[in-house]
Amino acid sequence: MDGFSNVSIMKKLVPITRFNKGEANKIFEEVQEYGTRIVMKNNRPACVLMSPEQYESLMEMLSDQILLEEAESRIARNDDHQNVSHEEMMKRLDISRDELDDTDVEIEP
């Protein structure tokens, strides 16, 4: 993902008047070629334009971050005294390693 310095932000600004002048296709081409653009309306950011690939990447990163935070929260709340090892659980359930190896499991997304 491209960074945002003051100079690079200035290059990314797109006045809304360019859309009003029928330059939408050209602006979309710029997004594909050069990356993110910030549409300005009344001298204020109105929206951010980016490629679908970049948007998808950002959403995946956000999802990963949310999952990481949830995992860290669960780890912090975990009481190690209640944990049971894999081997101990297999003993409790009277399951052998061979039985597990012979079992096919399908996990659906």
Listed by start position, the domains of the chain span 7-53
- Residue carrying structure tokens 């929260």: 73
The model's pLDDT over 34-91, given as tens digits with 9 standing for 90+, comes to 999 999 999 999 999 999 999 999 999 999 999 999 999 999 998 888 888 989 999 9
SS3 at position 60: helix
Q: What CATH architecture does domain 7-53 belong to?
A: 3-Layer(aba) Sandwich (3.40)
| pTM as predicted | 0.60
What pairs with residue 44 in β-bridges? Answer: 41
Closest CA to 48 of 82, 2, 97: 2
Q: Please give the Cα distance from 18 to 33 (Å, whole number).
A: 17
